């Protein structure tokens, strides 16, 4: 039982994994983030990350648990019903491959992510809604309404490497066929022109820091500590952060954003089907960004449509969805929040590359 933040990370880093057939985490997505990074910080990371991971939802977000349930083709559920569903999936003991994304921060930290990388509105809601954790999953609804009341716009530069051939990606049938047993037996009216845009923040200094612009920023979400050493697969698609992106990358011309979120699972929370086309091992980062100019009304409708995954069919000109292999985000706004798997990380330039089928996950 973890006793403090990053305790699970430390335990897994030093544990004798030969004692267990699998590691099952009952918590929210944050504890699994610790376990994954603890495994990747081991000298034997290549073998350690093959340890099957199981998930039982016990947090307020439970995005990966909801994604596993979704991949099983079952009707969407939440709370206790989601817990029961994930329990049945664990009992089946079927193991699937799981993509992990390597994330590089300006502080030279390297993290491994199984869920998402977010900047702007989504990251703000995730961190600022911590104060509403006592209401469970409804904290995100409350946080969304609060943040809509004071919509922010962030300046930055976004670049990405698009996938070359979408038709070559594994289908749901392809991914489920890789399972093995570890046990012995729209509508365009969703988008409106915005006349309520807040003044865009301009770069005032070279110092960037996490900030929710609130005195109520939770103390529990600290920046992730540096790993003992840099281990893991080579990020052959990425240039160092202090060098330009490769010439064949796509650079987004817009520099004013409401949100940027990179997903590698279907759900962003129990009731947010953010990337309906995502699969556990499709080797794709599902990049969604919303450009400045969207109205509060349109953004609210967008998030309401996300409950059933309909937000990408709204024909809103401010919303862009693209499938990529790697990306780089360089914030210009001096204050802001960046999250990896819902965890607060150092604010500043960040880049990421997905590594297909790196880990193992018990999924039905």
- Let me know how long the chain is: 364
Q: How many CB atoms lie within 10 A of CB 35?
A: 21
Compute the mean pLDDT over every residue in the chain, rounded to the nearest whole number: 81
Mean pLDDT within 85-108: 95
Q: Which CATH number fits domain 20-165+237-362: 3.30.499.10, 2.60.200.40, 3.90.1300.10, 1.10.3210.10?
A: 2.60.200.40
Query: Which residues, other chains included, contact 235 with Cβ-Cβ below 8 Å and sequence gap of 6+?
Result: 102, 104, 326, 353
Question: CA 151 → CA 147, 271, 295, distances in Å?
Answer: 6, 22, 9
Alpha carbons 120 and 338: distance in angstroms, whole number: 7
Which of 149, 142, 144, 105 lies closest to 121, judged by CA? Answer: 144
- Are 172 and 279 in contact, with CB atoms under 8 Å apart? yes
Give me the half-sphere count of Cα atoms (radius 13 Å) on the Cβ side of residue 107: 14
Alpha carbons 256 and 276: distance in angstroms, whole number: 26
Structure tokens at 299: 């953004």
Query: Which residues, other chains included, contact 193 with Cβ-Cβ below 8 Å and sequence gap of 6+?
Result: 293, 295
pLDDT over 70 at 127, yes or no: yes
pLDDT digits (tens, 9 = 90+) for 196-237: 333 333 333 333 444 433 333 343 444 455 444 468 999 999
Geometric angle at alpha carbon 268, from 320 and 363, rounded to 5°: 120
Instruction: Give the rounded percent of residues in the chain with a pLDDT score beyond 70.
Output: 77
33 CA to centre of own chain: 10
Residue-level pLDDT at 199: 34
Helix 63-71 to helix 29-40 angle (10° resolution) is 90
Catalytic residue among 16, 21, 29, 44: 29
pTM score over 0.85: no
Is 29 catalytic? The answer is yes
Q: Which of 187-196, 287-296, 350-359 has the lowest mean pLDDT?
A: 187-196
pLDDT over 80 at 246, yes or no: yes
pLDDT digits (tens, 9 = 90+) for 49-75: 999 999 999 887 799 999 999 998 888
**In 3-state terms, what secondary structure has residue 28?**
coil
pLDDT over 90 at 124, yes or no: no
Name the CA dihedral angle for 143, 146, 152, 158, rounded to a multiple of 10 degrees.
20
Phi, then psi, of 260 in degrees rounded to 5: -135, 125
pLDDT digits (tens, 9 = 90+) for 134-166: 666 666 677 777 777 788 999 999 999 999 744
Mean pLDDT within 347-363: 96
Run of H or E including 124: helix 121-128
Residue-level pLDDT at 198: 36
Residue-level pLDDT at 174: 33
Residue-level pLDDT at 91: 94
Residue-level pLDDT at 173: 31
- Are 194 and 293 in contact, with CB atoms under 8 Å apart? yes
Residue-level pLDDT at 230: 61
């Amino acid at each position: 039982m973890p006793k403090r933040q990053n305790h699970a990370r430390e335990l897994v880093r030093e544990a004798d994994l030969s004692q267990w057939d699998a590691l099952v985490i009952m918590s929210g997505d944050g504890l699994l983030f610790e376990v994954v990074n603890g495994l990747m910080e081991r000298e034997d990371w290549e073998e350690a990350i093959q340890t099957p991971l199981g998930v039982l939802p016990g947090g307020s977000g439970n995005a990966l648990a909801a994604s596993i349930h979704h991949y099983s083709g079952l009707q969407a559920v939440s709370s206790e019903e989601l817990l029961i569903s994930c329990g049945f999936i664990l009992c089946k003991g079927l193991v699937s491959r799981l993509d992990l994304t390597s994330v590089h921060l300006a502080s030279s930290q390297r993290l491994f992510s199984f869920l998402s990388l977010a900047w702007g509105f989504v990251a703000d809601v995730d961190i600022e809604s911590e104060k509403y954790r006592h209401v469970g999953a409804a904290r995100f609804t409350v946080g969304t309404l609060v943040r809509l009341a004071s919509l922010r716009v962030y300046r930055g530069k976004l670049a990405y490497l698009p996938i070359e051939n979408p038709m070559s990606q594994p289908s749901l049938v392809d991914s489920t066929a890789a399972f093995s047993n570890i046990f012995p037996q729209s509508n365009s009216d969703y988008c409106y022109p915005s006349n309520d845009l807040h003044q865009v923040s301009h770069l005032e200094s070279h110092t960037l820091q996490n900030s929710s612009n609130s005195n109520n920023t939770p103390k529990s979400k600290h920046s992730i500590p540096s790993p003992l050493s840099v281990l893991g697969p080579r990020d052959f698609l990425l240039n160092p952060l202090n060098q330009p992106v490769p010439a064949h990358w796509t650079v987004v011309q817009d520099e004013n954003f409401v949100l940027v979120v990179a997903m590698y699972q279907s759900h962003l929370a129990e009731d947010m089907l953010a990337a309906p086309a995502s699969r556990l091992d499709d080797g794709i980062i599902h990049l969604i960004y919303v450009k400045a100019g969207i109205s509060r009304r349109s953004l609210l409708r967008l998030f309401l449509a996300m409950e059933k995954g309909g937000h990408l069919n709204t024909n809103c000109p401010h919303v862009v969805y693209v499938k990529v292999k790697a990306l780089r985000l360089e914030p210009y706004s001096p204050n802001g929040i960046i999250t990896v798997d819902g965890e607060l990380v150092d604010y500043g330039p960040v880049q990421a590359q997905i590594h297909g089928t790196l880990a193992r996950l018990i999924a039905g």
